[in-house]
Amino acid sequence: MTIHWCGTGLSAIPGLRRLIEAGHDVTVWNRSTDKAQAAVGDLTADIHAFDRDALAGALKPGDVVVSMLPGDWHVPLAELCLSKGAHFVSSSYIAPEMRALDETARARGLSLVNEIGLDPGIDHLMAHHLVADYRASGVCDAANDLSFTSYCGGVPKHPNAFRYKFSWSPLGVLKALRSPSRSIREFAELNVARPWDAISSYQAPLPTPETFEVYPNRDSIPFIADYRFDPDWRIRDFVRGTLRLNGWSEAWKDVFAEIETLEGDAGEARLREMSDQFWQENAY
């Protein structure tokens, strides 16, 4: 079995290096072989320029493709894996198009594994642990009013003027900002067209308390069932949210205003231009 690791961006490197150092058979694919060489060239020479056709030619039944590429690539690579009898892994959210492949994958004995990063991923594990702990406690009761809050976000240790630094494609961040969100607040469904319309303040219970800006992240509602909440539980609040440094909304206000105006192919092209600019100016 060969692990075909696609993408050597900043967030990909620790896991990739760990696999190679552990002696696994890993082939590295990246759009820039120079960047891949800089990331893992001291550990392996099995580095190739990413190309779907070249990957298809190398892929064998039982292999695993790990996609750390931008989200637009996940479904095409999962479809390629299904055609080649290979497994697929990504850390990204399960898109409807990915979910539609589930039945075919199961029928062929193949795995399509997603949402195994920090958020989504580790937060899922913590949520399941929390629910299991509540069920096992002496206070679990259908009459209780429950509040579930899961906040996550990467923030720079040394704040910059932009109040954010990128460890992954800025394009993914920008597209996420265009996504509406659903959550539950005070027993009612809260629908928000844009995240910046629902920014609130959160004081994190750290050894030295720190206050962050937070906004609801995408659609929280399906995770009520995913986290095994009983249908008869009374849910006062349920939100999965994103943390940002104080001042983030002010620093990004011009970005929000422009994103609101973008449409069609021209809008997508402009998002890519913004992504390239932000990566140059605000990457770790």
Mean pLDDT of all residues belonging to the chain: 94
For 138-282, CATH number out of 3.30.830.10, 3.30.360.10, 3.30.465.10, 2.40.30.10 equals 3.30.360.10
Give the pLDDT confidence score for residue 48 in this predicted structure: 97
Beta strand pairing call for 210-216 and 200-204: antiparallel
- pLDDT beyond 90 at 150: yes
pLDDT single digits (tens) 200-253 = 999 998 899 899 999 999 999 999 999 999 999 999 999 999 999 999 999 999
Sketch the domain layout of the chain as residue ranges: 3-113, 138-282
pLDDT single digits (tens) 177-206 = 888 999 999 999 999 998 888 999 999 988
Q: Which CATH architecture has domain 3-113?
A: 3-Layer(aba) Sandwich (3.40)
Report which of 42, 9, 47 is spatially closest to residue 27, judged by C-alpha positions. 47
Residue 153 — very low, low, confident or very high, per pLDDT cuts 50/70/90?
confident
Give the pLDDT confidence score for residue 59 in this predicted structure: 97
